[in-house]
Amino acid sequence: MQLGKLGKIGVGWTVLVVVGITGFTYSKTSVDKRRYDNMKVRERMKKSNEGLYEATERFVGGEANKIYKKKTVNNIKMDTSQLSPGEQVKLQMMQDLEIEMMSDLYNRMTNACHKKCIPPKYSDSELGKGEMVCIDRCVAKYLDVHERIGKKLTAMSSADEEMKRKMSGG
């Protein structure tokens, strides 16, 4: 069967429409999956911020600024007067070390995500949508990996302690 000029155009349009609809469906599915993944990350972040907060006022530049701090087991005020001076020094060192570690985590994460998501030459004074999405994902991944590593190291440490107990006791 010979197709005329209009027949060939009709077949071409049919193929293009089918390919276009398939491509659109695939891209929509991909976008929906990414949105769902982002929604799960946001829900996880939201749950981590739930709980009781205590407000403290800090005076900076003559103005009172409220700082909200999540109440956790680590933030419970202890009566350190009952601790020996050596224990107080150990507690202060642990607190300082924790602050230093969190500061290091923040600095490393900031540097890594900045390098990955923001081009070296700035074209705008504000972040673009793609850069913001990249940074959101980078931070979520960085914190997720940090949490997983922490859990793994804790499990390994407790397994080592258990092994030491078994060897010394048995």
DSSP sequence for 47-111: HHT-S-EEEEEEEETTEEEEEEEE--GGGS---GGGS-HHHHHHHHHHHHHHHHHHHHHHHHHHH
Q: Give pLDDT tens digits for 103-147.
A: 888 888 999 998 998 888 877 778 888 888 999 999 999 889 988
**Quick check: 159 pLDDT over 60?**
yes
User: What's the pLDDT at 49?
Assistant: 62
List the chain domain ranges.
81-170
**Within a 13 Å sphere around the CA of 140, how many CA atoms are in the beta-carbon half?**
16
> What is the pLDDT confidence band of residue 73, given thresholds at 50, 70 and 90?
very low
Cα dihedral 112, 139, 101, 59, rounded to 10, equals: 110
Whole-number Å distance between alpha carbons of 165 and 162: 5
Task: Give residue 169's pLDDT.
Answer: 75
Tell me the pLDDT tens digit for each residue of 5-37: 888 888 888 888 888 898 888 888 888 888 888
Q: What is the pLDDT of residues 44-61, one digit of tens each?
A: 777 766 665 555 555 545
Q: What is the pTM of this model?
A: 0.45
Fold of 81-170: Helix Hairpins (1.10.287)
